[in-house]
Structure 1
Amino acid sequence: MSEKDDDKVRLDKWLWAARFYKTRALAKAAIEGGKVHHRGERCKPGKEPKVGDEYVLRTGFDERTVVVLALSAVRRGAPEAQLLYRETDESIARRQQAAAMRKAGALGVQTDGRPSKKQRRQIHQFNEQQEGGLRHPWADEDE
Structure 2
Amino acid sequence: MRIDKFLWSTRYFKTRNQASEACKKGHIRVNDAVVKPSRDVYPGDKLIVRKNQVNYELLVLDLPTSRVGAKLVDIYRKDTTPKEAFEHSDLLKYSKDYYRKKGTGRPTKKDRRDIDDYLDEGEVSP
Query: Please, what TM-score do these two structures have when normalized by structure 2?
Result: 0.71
How big is each residue's C-alpha offset from its partner over 1:16-44, in whole Å with a ceiling of 9 and x where there is no partner? 00000000000000011100012322111
Identity %: 26
Which of 29, 36, 49 is 2:21 aligned to? 29
Please list every run of 5 or more consecutive structure 2 residues that lacks an aligned counterpart in the other structure: 107-126
| Structure 1 equivalent of residue 45 of structure 2 | 53
Distance 2:75 2:98 in 1: 37
What is the RMSD computed on CA atoms of the aligned residues?
2.3
Aligned-residue offset at 1:84: 1.0
Please list every run of 5 or more consecutive structure 1 residues that lacks an aligned counterpart in the other structure: 1-8, 122-143
Which of 36, 59, 70 is 1:67 aligned to? 59
Distance 2:102 2:54 in 1: 32
Q: Matched residue pairs, number? A: 104
Over 6 Å off, 4+ runs: none
* Mapped contact 2:54–2:86 kept (Cα < 8 A): no
SS, match of residue 19 in structure 2 = helix
Distance 1:35 1:97 in 2: 20
* Mapped contact 2:4–2:16 kept (Cα < 8 A): yes
* Mapped contact 1:50–1:68 kept (Cα < 8 A): yes
